[in-house]
Structure 1
């Protein structure tokens, strides 16, 4: 089934919602499980710091996906998409690092546990995002309307 580009422009791009639905739940579950393990091994403070790390990581990566979808959804330019995606991803990683540096200076906050929970969440997010993209079956390019034999 194919839709026209005009029909796709009127509604949010499907690929981004598929990726968000594919990445957010597994990352959230893995993050919460890591926070529970941290709470069992390091105490309640470590578990709460882990939950804070999970919330920060999920907020950063969800907002990054939304930002990329809003910036490049209607352009159709793969180079712009790649450039914006890589820039947003680099900014997210740097921002997460800076948040951990700031959190390290807060007394009573277990930044090590928060960092571990963030790392688990980020790694699972990336793996789930790749899996969701591979299963989304989004066409990489637009084919010609009549197939290969109709091409000039």
Structure 2
């Protein structure tokens, strides 16, 4: 993973984890220990799914750059659907509070997407390959005598 990608991932994971901690405190106060556990599990699920998606997207971009945009759209749609499935599967669980789990998944996903957008806006990614200095030296300019 290039350093710019790792930096972008870090700038996305940290705010999401912070939002998860805040959600765990709020859920702990409102719903008790099971609420805090639900918020922590939801935060970990979002970080793992969204982080894994970025890794898959980066590998796809290296191997098939022409599929990058379509893969990104498909990936985000799939991630949101899988997170929805997680909420549906765990709606009747007794391991943690399902309402805190669902609310934290939504909040952490929104924070992830916003932090990712901010990270990519701040990243200095070249979209045009600059001309190398070696190719300039080999060109002949002006009149030759």
TM > 0.5: yes
Q: 1:17 to 1:91 in 2, by over 3 A?
A: same
Q: How many residues align?
A: 134
Q: For residues 56-111 of structure 1, what are the alpha-carbon distances to aligned partners after superposition, in whole Å with 9 as ceiling and x for unaligned?
A: 1111101001110111135443xx21111111111110000001111013235321
Deviation at 1:139, TM superposition (A): 1.2
Unaligned 5+ residue runs, structure 1? 1-11
- Partner of 1:104, secondary structure, is coil
**1:67 equivalent in structure 2:** 56
> 1:28 pairs with 17, 39, 43, which one?
17
User: Within the alignment, does 1:85 sit opposite 2:72 as a pair?
Assistant: yes
CA–CA separation in structure 1 for the residues paired with 2:17 and 2:94: 26
User: Within the alignment, does 1:97 sit opposite 2:61 as a pair?
Assistant: no
Q: For residues 43-66 of structure 1, what are the alpha-carbon distances to aligned partners after superposition, in whole Å with 9 as ceiling and x for unaligned?
A: 111111111111111111010011
**1:3 equivalent in structure 2:** none
Pairing 1:46-57 to 2, within 5 Å after superposition = 46-57=35-46
Deviation at 1:119, TM superposition (A): 1.3
User: Within the alignment, does 1:107 sit opposite 2:132 as a pair?
Assistant: no
Asked if structure 2 preserves the Cα contact closer than 8 Å seen for 1:13 and 1:69, the reply is: no
Q: Which deviates more from structure 2 when the two are superposed, residues 137-146 or residues 55-64?
A: 137-146
> Which one has a bigger Cα radius of gyration?
2
Deviation at 1:16, TM superposition (A): 2.4
Deviation at 1:40, TM superposition (A): 0.8
Root mean square deviation of aligned Cα: 1.8
- Report the TM-score, using the length of structure 1 for normalisation: 0.80
